């Protein structure tokens, strides 16, 4: 009997050693792939188009690769890491989609209801007064609300007390306003969209019928977020923190500089040598989310799980709605069917689709460019955040070149 037991333990030990050796080889293989990818990214940015950047590759099981490259602060040589925090511009809008569907799950709103059912001030297209705008139309950019000079000139507010008249930065169309001009989101939207508002212009609405044509709008997106505030009796920041950030343990993220550890915040640059002052958006839901590539990778992992039917922060039915293609060809005046990262070929609930099938969103603001997409076929997702404007075609080529490398190497990586 003892000989049999000894033989059994010997065989078990041999199998275990073989499995451990295979695991070690797989880990080493993955590390070599990651190191090679890092070198490729550094090579693409060898001319320092971007002072700092963060990248990640994700699948439905977790984060396969994440890396910070370059500097969060060039003057002090502060490194850009996976935990460096920066704005992500319009990728922020995907949170509005999740929040709308969570509010609908809770019975607080219905996507197909008219927005005036919830708003304390009336909003309607002056060219179609009898055609109600719906919440769904806000979420698919078919509300006929558009961004005018009042948006570009008033929404961006400096974080600190700086003489805004002295800030003249080339290639930035936005006006940076003094920090004491910051007003509540509700007041901004009422001033902009209500006939009684002091900035109201009919030009804030197109002459198309609501629901007819896709017309990308930041103001319309923030109006959708404001409706969440009205129906939930919480700020949009509080609602998304409770229902998205905390469940996903996105501890390095928030909607204002007060919500994050400022020591981790990256400086932003209009070009590699010119800093952009810290700023925020009054219409913060449309582009003001602050996060790290590590935290955003957790979010992308959840979105991908939701697409595959096993998400945790929304029901399966809500995720199906999030990813349902809401529009048809006749809703677009132009579509790019070939670019893999243009997110306006079709749209879910604030969730973009490229013509080649990638799902996610792009973002761009002063000193910020961002990409977050996943491929539903190979079930891999990618993130790229940079803290420097895309200054020229060479920089644009490097930017998309890095994202392409993430795709190439995602096929080689295993969990």
User: Percent of the chain at pLDDT above 90?
Assistant: 86
Determine the average pLDDT of the residues in 35-43.
Answer: 95
Q: What tens digit of pLDDT does each residue of 187-223 get?
A: 999 999 999 999 999 999 999 999 999 999 999 999 9
Helices 2-44 and 393-410: crossing angle in degrees, nearest 10, is 170
Per-residue confidence band for 174, with pLDDT thresholds at 50, 70 and 90: confident
Q: What tens digit of pLDDT does each residue of 358-399 get?
A: 999 999 999 999 999 999 999 999 999 999 999 899 999 999
Residue 373's SS3 state is strand
Per-residue confidence band for 165, with pLDDT thresholds at 50, 70 and 90: low
């Amino acid at each position: 009997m003892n000989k049999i037991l000894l033989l059994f333990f010997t065989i078990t030990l041999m199998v275990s050693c073989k499995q451990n050796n295979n695991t070690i080889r797989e880990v080493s293989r993955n590390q070599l792939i990651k190191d090679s990818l890092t070198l490729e990214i550094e090579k693409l940015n060898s001319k320092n188009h971007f002072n700092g950047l963060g990248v990640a590759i994700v699948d439905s099981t977790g984060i396969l690769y994440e890396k910070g490259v370059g500097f969060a602060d060039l003057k002090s040589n502060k490194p850009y890491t996976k935990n460096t925090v920066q704005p992500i511009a319009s990728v922020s809008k995907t949170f509005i989609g999740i929040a709308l569907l969570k509010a609908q799950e809770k019975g607080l709103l219905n996507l197909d209801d008219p927005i005036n059912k919830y708003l304390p001030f009336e909003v309607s297209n002056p060219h179609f007064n009898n055609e109600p705008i719906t919440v769904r139309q806000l979420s698919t950019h078919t509300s006929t609300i558009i961004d005018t000079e009042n948006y570009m000139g008033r929404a961006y507010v400096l974080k600190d007390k700086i003489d805004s008249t002295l800030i003249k930065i080339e290639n930035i169309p936005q006006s940076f306003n003094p920090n004491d001009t910051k007003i509540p989101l509700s007041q901004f939207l009422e001033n902009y969209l209500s006939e009684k508002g002091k900035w109201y212009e009919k030009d804030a609405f197109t002459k198309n019928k609501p629901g007819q044509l896709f017309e990308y709008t930041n103001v319309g997106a923030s109006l959708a977020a404001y409706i969440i505030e009205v129906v939930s009796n919480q700020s949009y920041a509080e609602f998304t923190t409770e229902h998205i950030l905390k469940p996903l343990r996105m501890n390095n993220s928030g909607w204002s500089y007060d919500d994050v550890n400022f020591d981790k915040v990256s400086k932003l640059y209009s070009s590699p040598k010119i800093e952009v002052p810290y700023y925020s958006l009054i219409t913060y839901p449309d582009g003001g989310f602050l996060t790290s590539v590590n935290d955003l990778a957790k979010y992308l992992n959840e979105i991908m799980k939701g697409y595959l039917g096993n998400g945790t922060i929304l029901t399966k039915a809500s995720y199906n709605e999030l990813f349902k293609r809401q529009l048809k060809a006749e809703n677009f005046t132009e579509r790019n069917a070939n670019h893999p990262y243009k997110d306006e070929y079709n749209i879910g609930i604030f969730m973009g689709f490229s013509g080649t099938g990638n799902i996610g969103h792009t973002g761009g603001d002063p000193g910020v460019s961002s990409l977050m997409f996943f491929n539903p076929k190979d079930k891999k997702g990618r993130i790229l955040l940079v803290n420097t404007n895309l200054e020229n075609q060479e920089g644009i080529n490097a930017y998309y070149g890095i994202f392409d490398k993430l795709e190439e190497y995602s096929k080689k990586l295993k969990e």
